A and B are shown apart, each in its own frame.
Chain A
Amino acid sequence: MLIVFFRAIILYALVILSIRLMGKRQIGELQPSELVITILVSNIATLPIEDTTIPMTTGIIPMLTLVSLDVIMSTLTLRSRKLRQIVSGNPKVIISNGVIDQKQMKNLRFSVDDLMESLHDYNIFDISEVQYAIVETTGKISVMQKNDYRSLTPSDIELYSETKNPPQILIDDGVVMHGAIDFLGLDMKFLNDTLRKNNVEVSDVFLMSCDEDKNYKLVKKEDSN
């Protein structure tokens, strides 16, 4: 029993390490090769946990090998477009100038229902609103609406404004986020002055966010009020 327990702990840590090693891209949308690796890793990890007669190495080695190969492969595909096309395929246009490419949809084995479902995600319920749609290598459909149906943007009415980065969290549950202070080009003096002005210590702050214009929002911890 304890063997299974310890094996589960080790393999849990190893699976997390593997997924981290594969990078953030893995957590979002999966490329075909990443999907294969994810399925394989999860299957391989269960074998040595369930069967104690199997050595741990038969789980660890293939897992690390697959993840390492995936990282090496993704680096190579970054450098070679041809290899990228072989491994991940090409995006396919299924609607161009409002016309559905039925042949392409057949090739991709996409039904009208699949297409409509994806359009609904973009709040499009009438196919005549679509100018262009493309199936990405991940299988996700990206859609561009015709200009007449697009939401109005500030640039459409020539309303130009300066684009700014979103506010950053400077204090998270009593802990100063030095990275965010650097990102905003602020310093500890600004933070200390602000806290003094509000009569609080860092440890009393539940949340403090601030933008580049030094507009801040401070939420005190409930028990410190």
Chain B
Amino acid sequence: MKRLILCIAIIVVIISVSVFSLLTIKNKNEHLIETLNAVTEYAEDKKTDLALEKIDEFSRLWKKYYICVSFLVESSCLEDISNSCAKLKALLMKDSEELYSECEAIKYGITLIYNNEFPYLHSIF
């Protein structure tokens, strides 16, 4: 009986942790995407200082998020985003159009993390 209770507890913990991690990813994704949107807006308006601040904020958030999400997602997916993240400042300083495409790539990568974790029917099968 003890074994059964332990196993039921394990299943409950796994489900709870999975749901909690999914919600955490969703919330943090929204925050990261908002910050990136702010970066692109400031860059379009040529407000470089504000855009730089937002890039720094995004980098800080991403570092924290990376540690948290690396428990759930393959690190190769996260490294692609980290690489794009490292380019942002330089692209902003060069006033390159590539900044927007890198931001879009990061947004897509972040969205993909959540989508890959969410148990859609097509993901399960």
Contacts and interface: CB of A to CB of B under 8 A. Distances in A.
A71 B3 contact: yes
B7 interface: yes
Interface in B32-84: 70-76
A64 B10 contact: yes
Main secondary structure of the interface of B (DSSP, over half): helix
A55 B73 contact: yes
B3 A69 contact: no
A71 B71 contact: no
A43 interface: no
B14 A55 contact: no
B98 to A, nearest CB: 27
> For this complex, into which size category does the number of interface residues on chain B fall?
10 to 19
B114 to A, nearest CB: 16
A64 B15 CA distance: 12
Contacts of A56: 71
A80 interface: no
Contacts of A68: 7-8, 10-11
Contact of A55 (B6, B10, B70): B70
A54 interface: yes
A75 interface: yes
Given A21-B3, A23-B3, A61-B14, A54 B74 contact: yes
Interface of A: 21, 23, 52-57, 61, 64-65, 67-69, 71-72, 75
> Which 8 A-B pairs have CB atoms at the shortest separation, nearest pair first?
A68-B7, A71-B7, A68-B10, A53-B75, A75-B4, A53-B76, A68-B11, A53-B74
23 contacts: A21-B3, A21-B6, A21-B7, A52-B75, A53-B74, A53-B75, A53-B76, A55-B72, A55-B75, A56-B71, A57-B71, A57-B72, A61-B14, A61-B18, A65-B10, A67-B7, A68-B7, A68-B8, A68-B10, A69-B7, A69-B11, A71-B3, A72-B4
